[in-house]
Chain A
Amino acid sequence: MTLTINSISAGYDSSIILHDISVELKQGLVTALIGPNGSGKSTLLKVIAGIVKPYAGIIRLGDINVDELKGTQRAQLIAYLPQASNSLPSTTVFESILLGRKPYISFEPDSEDLAVVEDTIKIFNIEQYAFKKINELSGGEIQKVLIARAIAQRTKVLLLDEPINHLDVKNQLEIMNIVKHYTASSGLITMVVLHDINRALQFADEFILLKDGYIIERGSSEVITPHVLHEIYGIEADCITYKKKRKIIII
């Protein structure tokens, strides 16, 4: 199954943010969305999640035109995690993850919903604070819970907007490891907005580089070159290879 984004143009009110974006995402791969602030990364995720309606274009998941789906049907296929917010509700970790089952719950959660929540809590190794209030947790713990909620949605597509911002290195690695592992093992189509290019090179399989709402480059890690980084960020950078992985050094 592939997620096909075909000639999408989108924006807010009269300003166009995304211009004629076409891209195809494959199952089991993590795609990193890279670009400067205001380049349209978050808008692209919101368009796929159905939060921003595109002016033109079509999004297909396999044979399904996702724009024709009702909100709940779309939520069964696409999970979305927005950028970190300061205001969190005073709900427990269990309740927060259970909310990920909302698209499947008609009246009350059944045993399958509870089993999914249990399994997700186990995947993220957060049993010890399953019944703590989410707004009493540390930044890394909160981010784990939020991604756990998106994963509990059991969708085909996972969209994460800056999931490791403001986290320490240990938490960054832990969260990206879970995302990478879960994407591969469950055959998810995962798209992650990342500002840390080296973290993207470490965990992503595919890369899309955006600038001013246009795709500048896309492909494997080979597309991330000092020349491209200069083009989209206007910075001087160098590229080295460390343990067979490309690394970027910002000069």
Chain B
Amino acid sequence: MEKLNLQNRESEYIKGHIVHTYIHLVKNKLLFGILLIICIVFVFVYSITSGSLQIPLSNVFSSLVSENEFSYIVNNIRLPRSVAAVIAGAALGVAGCVMQNILKNPLASPFTLGVSHGAAFGAAVAIIVFNAGTSHSIGNESVTIFNVYAVIIAAFVGAACAVIIILFLSFLKNISPDAIVLAGVAMGSIFSAATMFLQYFAADFQVAATVFWTFGDLGKAGWVENVLLAGGFIPVIIYFYSQRWNYNALLWNDDVAISLGVNIQSLRLTGMLLSAFIVSLCTAFLGIIGFIGLIAPHIVRMLIGNDYRFLIPYSALFGALLLLASDCIAKLILEPVIVPVGIVTSLLGAPLFFYLLIARRTP
């Protein structure tokens, strides 16, 4: 009897110990999130102060509440630029996180469905066919797009077309995630060829304008763009977070997910549609910003594991941090010239991506 009591007490200890360890791990993951937020705040503040003109921190704060010599730069140039970095980075990060889950492919990114090629084609149509852009010289800038909103709308429509065609195929034939990835590659190729076709018959300044447009550049963002980006991003991330347990189930094979009550077809279609929507929005406003959506979820996964309760918000936070940091580098690397941030993310992302491929872990 005494032995039995001892066994019961021992098992109670183990039980308590297991729950305690689980709660401890959850707390650590929450701390990681707080750490990410603190890092974002620091880099955000640094990004406002840094650039070709260094603005002291005290002047940044004072320019927010009252008019001073830095007010214009802070309120109209740096602040919207850094806010755009946070929103676009978060959107790309969370979209990549969801795409990797629903397509069961660690190499999936927001651009897997051909969003970037579709957007580039849309922009090329606006610039070349509808004369929305042309070139002239203002200092370092050799190319200006006159009708910005025509290009943005055309780019968004182009990106949406690429996605809708793939989603339609997916819905019609219920094709597998692997086939969706391949369809995305094919769609990208079609739009890429169509863009080159237009460029071949365009004037040189129009070709320059289309190439210039594709550079991901946070400088394109103003307050209106930020409001529109946030308006698209916030409802989408709320939806993604509400589906976190379904994404956890989808980590296993489809049959397991269905047996746990997940409607996998609807989850996949909605996930792809919303990911593509927020990324199309970012791409239409800012141009193509590569690698953030691919590497942010991978790095977070390596650090905190594969639980989508944390992976979804933290991929957004890490994406925001990466894009903010990349933008700081873009501003400082060839000062006073500001390099488009898309070049920096691809340049820094590629070596990191090679590292991930070499030290590859199961997603």
Contact = CB atoms under 8 A, between A and B. Distances in A.
A72 interface: yes
B263 A92 contact: no
Interface string A65-76: 000001111110
Contacts of A90: 301, 305-306, 361-363
Given A114-B22, A130-B18, A131-B21, A89 B259 contact: no
Given A122-B11, A122-B15, A131-B25, A91 B306 contact: yes
A50 B262 CA distance: 11
Given A82-B253, A89-B251, A105 B258 contact: no
A118 B14 CA distance: 9
A75 B259 contact: yes
B248 A94 contact: no
B232 to A, nearest CB: 25
A117 to B, nearest CB: 8
A130 B251 CA distance: 19
B263 A105 contact: no
Interface in A90-104: 90-92, 94-95, 99-100, 102-103
A64 interface: no
A144 interface: no
B201 interface: no
B261 A121 contact: no
B interface SS class: helix
Contacts of B11: 122
Give the bracket for the number of chain B residues in contact with chain A.
20 to 34
A105 B245 contact: yes
Contacts of A94: 18, 22
A79 B259 CA distance: 7
A91 B309 CA distance: 13
A131 to B, nearest CB: 6
A127 interface: yes
Contact of B263 (A46, A71, A89, A103): A71
A208 B341 CA distance: 64
B57 interface: no
Contacts of B263: 71
B170 to A, nearest CB: 17
Interface string B352-363: 000000000111
A103 B261 contact: yes
Contacts of B245: 99, 102, 105
Contacts, number: 90
A108 B309 CA distance: 9
Interface string B297-330: 0000100011101000000000000000000000
A135 B363 CA distance: 11
B19 to A, nearest CB: 6
B18 A118 contact: yes
Contacts of B258: 49-51, 71
B260 interface: yes
A60 B19 CA distance: 37
A138 interface: no
Given A49-B259, A78-B259, A92-B305, A135 B362 contact: yes
A207 interface: no
A80 B249 contact: no
A135 B306 CA distance: 12
Interface of A: 46, 49-51, 70-75, 78-80, 82, 85, 87-92, 94-95, 99-100, 102-103, 105, 108, 114, 118-119, 121-122, 127, 130-131, 135, 153
17 contacts: A46-B255, A49-B258, A51-B258, A51-B259, A71-B258, A75-B259, A85-B253, A89-B363, A90-B362, A94-B22, A99-B245, A99-B252, A102-B245, A102-B249, A108-B309, A118-B15, A130-B21
Interface of B: 11, 14-15, 18-19, 21-22, 25, 245, 248-249, 251-253, 255-256, 258-263, 301, 305-307, 309, 361-363
Given A51-B259, A73-B261, A127-B14, 16 more contacts: A50-B258, A71-B261, A72-B261, A78-B259, A80-B259, A82-B256, A87-B362, A91-B307, A103-B260, A103-B261, A114-B22, A118-B15, A118-B18, A119-B15, A122-B11, A131-B25
